[in-house]
């Protein structure tokens, strides 16, 4: 019986080059296409910008934002941040940062653990509905199945 080897995703050019080197195959291995490299560089820059912005939010609003121990945020928290006038970048970048923050598994655990949403000053603002808790349960379950 003949066995075959299959991969879930293609090997990177670096890994292909290492395999060729180990097998003693000489020749020019093409470098990774520039568009993939540019995409990777843009993704890395975006992630760095997101982490820097979340750190800014933590420093500016410590009673509300905390990556390690997040609190459920009040609906419309972006408008509150914009009203204060401390955010100097575009509104869309704030939306991306808040989406990044509330998309983390720790945030969804906080939704399940807490009963209230919090405002910028750390005050309880509104009660979390059961449908919102159910959404977080489903989101966490989805994350667990993807990691397996």
Considering the domain boundaries, does residue 8 fall inside one?
Answer: no
5: helix, strand or coil? coil
What average pLDDT does this structure show over 98-125?
A: 94
Considering the domain boundaries, does residue 44 fall inside one?
Answer: no
> What pLDDT, in 10s, does the model give residues 49-85?
888 899 999 999 999 999 899 999 999 999 999 999 9
What average pLDDT does this structure show over 14-21?
A: 72
As to burial, measured by CB atoms within 10 angstroms (0-12 exposed, 13-18 middle, 19+ buried), residue 6 is exposed
Mean residue pLDDT across the chain = 84
Considering the domain boundaries, does residue 46 fall inside one?
Answer: no
> How many separate domains does the chain show?
1
Considering the domain boundaries, does residue 126 fall inside one?
Answer: yes
Beta-carbon count within 10 A of 81 CB: 21
Considering the domain boundaries, does residue 109 fall inside one?
Answer: yes
Considering the domain boundaries, does residue 53 fall inside one?
Answer: no
Considering the domain boundaries, does residue 96 fall inside one?
Answer: yes
Domain of 106, CATH number, reads 1.10.1710.10
Can you list the pairs that 11-18 forms with residues at least 24 positions away whose Cβ atoms lie under 8 Å?
none
Q: Cα–Cα distances in Å, from 116 out to 63, 67, 77, 124, 138?
A: 14, 18, 14, 6, 19
pLDDT of 23 reads 73
Considering the domain boundaries, does residue 67 fall inside one?
Answer: yes
The two tokens of residue 15 are 């890994």
How many angstroms separate the most distant Cα atoms in the chain?
70
> What pLDDT, in 10s, does the model give residues 22-37?
777 665 545 555 667 7
The parent domain of residue 110 ranges over: 63-148
Q: What is the dihedral of CA 51, 48, 87, 124, to 10 degrees?
A: -10
């Amino acid at each position: 019986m003949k066995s075959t080897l299959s991969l879930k995703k293609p090997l990177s050019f670096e890994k292909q080059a290492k395999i060729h080197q180990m097998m003693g195959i000489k020749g020019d291995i093409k470098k990774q296409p520039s568009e993939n490299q540019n995409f990777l560089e843009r993704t890395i820059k975006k992630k760095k910008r997101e982490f820097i912005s979340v750190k800014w939010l933590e420093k500016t609003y410590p009673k509300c934002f905390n990556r390690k121990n997040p609190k459920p945020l009040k609906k419309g928290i972006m408008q509150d941040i914009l009203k204060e006038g401390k955010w100097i970048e575009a509104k869309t970048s704030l939306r991306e940062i808040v989406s990044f923050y509330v998309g983390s598994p720790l945030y969804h655990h906080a939704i399940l653990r807490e009963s209230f949403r919090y405002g910028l000053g750390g005050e309880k603002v509104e009660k979390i509905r059961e449908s919102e808790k159910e959404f977080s349960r489903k989101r966490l379950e989805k994350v667990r199945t993807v990691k397996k």
